[in-house]
Amino acid sequence: MKPRITALLASLALGGSMLFVSAGFAAAAAPATGPAGKGVCATDAAAVKAGATVEKLHAFGDCEINRRFATLNSLTAKITSSKVMTSADKTALQSEIGSTQAGLTSLKATIDAETAIPALRQDITKIATDYRVYLLVAPQVHLVNAADGVLAAQTKFAGVNTNLAARIATAKAAGKDTTAAQADLDAMNAAVAAAANLAGPLPAQLLPLTPAQYNGGTAGPVLTGARSALTQARNDLKSALADAKACRAALKALK
């Protein structure tokens, strides 16, 4: 029983970190009008601001696209290494990342070939508005991974339930009062079910979202709602873990 509890603690810690990461991406995201010109691209952005030329705009656009390529590669690695994400969700997200990379590659060729400053400015704006790597794709990966993590934890809790229920049955057959232990187990199962109910629908809501929907204002509320649901789901799993420990303690006291 103890190893199962320890494993659940590790799983919940991982799930918590995924939620914090996804929230961080939202806070650090580029503004709605175009690339932020921050981080590795700050120098190029400052050069453009000081006086735009075709060469400076080429450098800035290429930097922002390459920055996104690096982020997309990192997201791909996260998807591949995830131990909780379903194969279907992995496939859907990898496809989205692939199409985003292809689109950015095409846009980079357009930017590099452009020689008119007004057209270059418009093309560079599309880096953010047409692909939404930081505002949409990254949150999709992290939130879907977190949702699948909750469902994976539900499976682990099912094993804990089997173990504790058997111990309760044994104690009850021996004439012990198992009322408290049973109440704790029931509370654990209720909390796990609540978490799963919150997380279960999220991948289907998150995966179809598009940059156009984000630009139109309909994707943002879905992302916000998913973060809120996953925060509550994580809290429910923490409560379930506490209930499992209480049940184990109650059974131990019967000996």
Full residue range of the structural domain in which residue 197 is found: 2-253
CA–CA distance, 142 with 135 (Å, rounded to integer): 12
Whether the Cβ atoms of residue 212 and residue 229 lie closer than 8 Å to each other = no
**3-state SS record for 167-179:** HHHHHHHCCCCCH
Q: Could you tell me if 66 and 44 are in contact, meaning their C-beta atoms sit under 8 angstroms apart?
A: no
What is the torsional sign of CA 95, 99, 100, 102? Answer: positive
User: What pLDDT score does 31 carry?
Assistant: 42
Q: Residue 41 gets which letter from DSSP?
A: G
Stretches where the chain sits below pLDDT 50 are 13-31
Task: Tell me how far the alpha carbon of residue 235 is from its chain's centroid.
Answer: 16
Q: Which helix (H) or strand (E) holds 7?
A: helix 2-27
- Total domain count, the chain: 1
State residue 5's pLDDT score.
60
pLDDT tens for 158-213 read: 999 999 999 999 999 999 999 999 999 999 999 999 999 999 999 999 999 999 99
Gap between the Cα atoms of 23 and 25, Å rounded: 5
What pLDDT shows up at residue 255?
77
Q: Which two tokens stand for residue 112?
A: 């590099």
**Start-end of H helices in 130-254:** 138-173, 179-199, 202-206, 211-215, 219-253
pLDDT value, residue 33: 60
- 189 close to 161: Cβ distance less than 8 angstroms: yes
**Are 34 and 45 contacting, i.e. CB atoms less than 8 angstroms apart?**
no
- Report the predicted TM-score, pTM, of the whole model to 2 decimal places: 0.88
d(CA 22, CA 25): 5
Amino acid at 56: K
Structure tokens at 245: 């420990």
Question: Which CA distances in Å does 235 have to 8, 198, 252?
Answer: 13, 11, 26
The pair phi, psi for residue 38, each rounded to 5°, is: -110, 175
What DSSP designation does 39 have? G
